[in-house]
């Protein structure tokens, strides 16, 4: 079945009692046993739940994995994936990853004995140069948050294979509708389902999708042992959201290219970070490994923070809020918001400054979005 058909149909047929056309929510924390040996396939919701299972089947199919675990947040997904490694292991990642991921690696996992190198992942030689005997993993985020840098997935897969590393890709920014890292040879995909997969800014969630049995068994064990799984209701919301993933992504992208082109011409804008613009230095790479350019974009204004604040106040449609991937457009200031959890030096190294503004384009009319953004910058 085609991708969009699987969005709608995979995992939804779970009701043998009344033939409902949508997956029921099973909020029960526990399931009674038939006898001392057998049960319905579920015993306790931390370990497994039919509604959550429906979502897991759906996401595994969309990403092309063998299985999935749906968890409580994107950070839970990243945490679970990090347990494919152990203290002493070294993991190479980008220097411009999501601030929360940076904090988890730099602070939490480093204090547990994990080691990290944060490098410019656009440069495969920089990744190769960072490899040490104890290197065990490559953590890929592409496009990166917030500067939309593109990591060449095929190059990373090659480096991972040559050096026997587990490659993990955070596919939150594009969703499987636009990019499928597992098909390109990556081992594990993680998501913040809070974003495009759910798509309506009304749930926080995450997912880990694997394609090797060994990885799947470890992730399942960790999610159960650490209690990371999402609630049945949250799973149901994401399953509902994912049904419209394709049409939403198309609508998001129509707005994104229109706003990016306007920003590119605006005198108050110094630089636009959107791989869909032909002028973007990695436009061709993005085109070769993605099926679209997504709807996240960032830009540097010509002036400083005070001007940014004025712009935010002038906007009517773009709400000043963190997060992304919902049907409504959001705008935010990475330095004090999404990337405040990075150190100032790390932000500087990544290229995030007080001029940087990040935008998540919703599915409103492109004309209205362009007019609002233009008005915000002009006023
Ligand atoms: C790329 C990326 N990965 C992971 C996360 C974390 O997701 P969550 O907020 O659902 O924990 C985010 C959140 O913004 C993100 O942008």
pLDDT tens by residue, 284-337? 999 999 999 999 999 999 998 999 999 999 999 999 999 999 999 999 999 999
284, with CB counted inside 10 A (0-12, 13-18, 19+), is exposed
Residue 98: active-site member: yes
Q: What are the pLDDT digits (tens) for 12-45?
A: 988 888 999 999 999 999 999 999 999 999 999 9
The DSSP 8-state label assigned to residue 46 in this structure reads: T
- Catalytic site residue from 67, 89, 96, 170: 170
Q: Is the dihedral of CA 33, 35, 36, 38 positive or negative?
A: negative
Q: What are the pLDDT digits (tens) for 82-127?
A: 999 999 999 999 998 999 999 999 999 999 999 999 999 999 999 9
pLDDT at 259 (0 to 100):
98
Q: For the chain, where do the domains classified as CATH 3.40.640.10 start and end? A: 3-242
- Tell me the β-bridge partners of 92: 117, 138
pLDDT at 366 (0 to 100):
98
Cα gap 2→147, rounded to integer Å:
32
User: Are the beta carbons of 195 and 172 closer than 8 angstroms?
Assistant: yes
How far is ligand 1, taken at its centre, from the CA of residue 100, in Å?
7
pLDDT at 331 (0 to 100):
98
pLDDT at 341 (0 to 100):
85
pLDDT at 324 (0 to 100):
97
What is the pLDDT averaged over residues 46-52?
A: 97
User: Are the beta carbons of 341 and 103 closer than 8 angstroms?
Assistant: yes
Q: Per CATH, the architecture of 3-242 is what?
A: 3-Layer(aba) Sandwich (3.40)
For ligand 1, atom 15, name the residue with the nearest CA.
Answer: 98
Cα gap 104→85, rounded to integer Å:
14
- Tell me the β-bridge partners of 356: 300
How far is ligand 1, taken at its centre, from the CA of residue 160, in Å?
24
Q: Which residues contact 234 (CB under 8 A, 6 or more apart)?
A: 72, 203, 204, 205
Residue 114: active-site member: no
Residue 67: active-site member: no
What is the pLDDT averaged over residues 7-12?
A: 95
Torsion angle in degrees (nearest 10) through CA of 25, 29, 34, 37: 120
Q: For the chain, where do the domains classified as CATH 3.90.1150.10 start and end? A: 245-378
- Length of the chain as a residue count: 379
Q: Is 194 in the pocket of ligand 1 (CB under 6 A)?
A: yes
User: Are the beta carbons of 291 and 165 closer than 8 angstroms?
Assistant: no
- Tell me the β-bridge partners of 191: 207
pLDDT band at residue 346 under the 50/70/90 scheme: confident
User: Are the beta carbons of 318 and 332 closer than 8 angstroms?
Assistant: no
How far is ligand 1, taken at its centre, from the CA of residue 85, in Å?
20
173 half-sphere exposure, CB direction, 13 A CA radius = 30
pLDDT at 198 (0 to 100):
98
Q: Phi and psi (nearest 5°) for 192?
A: -95, 105
Q: Give the residue from 289, 264, 272 showing the smallest Cα distance to 357.
A: 272
Cα gap 71→171, rounded to integer Å:
15
What is the pLDDT averaged over residues 58-75?
A: 98
Q: Which residues contact 313 (CB under 8 A, 6 or more apart)?
A: none
How far is ligand 1, taken at its centre, from the CA of residue 116, in Å?
19
Q: Is 325 in the pocket of ligand 1 (CB under 6 A)?
A: no
How far is ligand 1, taken at its centre, from the CA of residue 98, in Å?
7
Ligand 1 atom nearest the C-alpha of 76 is 11
Cα gap 316→238, rounded to integer Å:
28
250, with CB counted inside 10 A (0-12, 13-18, 19+), is middle
Cα gap 114→99, rounded to integer Å:
18
pLDDT at 16 (0 to 100):
84
Q: What are the pLDDT digits (tens) for 135-165?
A: 999 999 999 989 999 999 999 999 999 999 9
pLDDT band at residue 342 under the 50/70/90 scheme: confident
Q: Is 146 in the pocket of ligand 1 (CB under 6 A)?
A: no
- Catalytic site residue from 6, 14, 46, 268: 46
Mean pLDDT of the chain: 97
CA angle 176, 333, 358 (to 5 degrees): 35
For ligand 1, atom 8, name the residue with the nearest CA.
Answer: 74
Give the chain's largest Cα–Cα span: 73
> What value does the CA radius of gyration of the chain take, rounded to a whole number of Å?
21
Q: Is 23 in the pocket of ligand 1 (CB under 6 A)?
A: no
pLDDT at 78 (0 to 100):
98
245-378: CATH class? alpha beta
Q: Is 137 in the pocket of ligand 1 (CB under 6 A)?
A: no
């Amino acid at each position: 079945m085609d991708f969009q058909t699987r969005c709608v149909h995979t995992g939804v047929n779970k009701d043998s009692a009344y033939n409902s056309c949508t997956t029921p929510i099973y909020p029960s924390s526990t399931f009674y046993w038939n006898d001392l040996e057998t049960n319905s396939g579920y015993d306790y919701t931390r370990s497994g739940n039919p509604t959550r299972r429906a979502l897991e089947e759906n996401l595994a199919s969309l990403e092309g994995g063998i299985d999935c675990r749906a968890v409580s947040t994107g950070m839970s997904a990243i945490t679970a994936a990090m347990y494919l490694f152990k203290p002493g292991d070294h993991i190479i990642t980008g220097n411009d990853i999501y601030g929360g991921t940076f904090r988890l690696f730099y602070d939490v996992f480093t204090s547990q004995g994990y080691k990290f190198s944060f490098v410019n992942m656009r440069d495969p030689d920089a990744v190769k140069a960072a490899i040490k005997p104890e290197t065990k993993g490559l953590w890929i985020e592409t496009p990166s948050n917030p500067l939309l840098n593109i990591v060449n997935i095929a190059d990373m897969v090659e480096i991972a294979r040559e050096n026997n590393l587990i490659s993990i890709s955070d596919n939150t920014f594009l969703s499987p509708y636009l990019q499928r890292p597992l098909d390109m040879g990556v081992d594990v995909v993680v998501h913040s389902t809070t974003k495009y997969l759910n798509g309506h800014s009304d749930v926080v969630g995450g997912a880990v999708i694997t394609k090797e049995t060994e990885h799947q068994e470890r992730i399942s064990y960790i999610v159960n042992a650490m209690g990371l799984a999402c609630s049945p209701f949250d799973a149901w919301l994401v399953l509902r959201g994912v049904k419209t993933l394709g049409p939403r992504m198309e609508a998001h992208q129509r707005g994104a290219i229109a706003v990016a082109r306007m920003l590119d011409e605006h005198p108050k804008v110094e630089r636009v970070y959107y791989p869909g613009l032909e002028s973007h230095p990695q436009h061709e790479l993005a085109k070769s490994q993605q099926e679209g350019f997504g709807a996240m974009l960032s830009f540097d204004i010509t002036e400083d923070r005070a001007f940014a604040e004025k712009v935010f106040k002038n906007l009517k449609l773009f709400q000043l809020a963190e997060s992304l991937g919902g049907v409504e457009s959001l705008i935010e200031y990475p330095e004090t918001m999404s990337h405040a959890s990075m150190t100032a030096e790390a932000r500087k190294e990544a290229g995030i400054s007080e001029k940087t503004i990040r935008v998540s384009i919703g599915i409103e009319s492109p004309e209205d979005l362009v007019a609002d953004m233009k008005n915000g910058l002009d006023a």
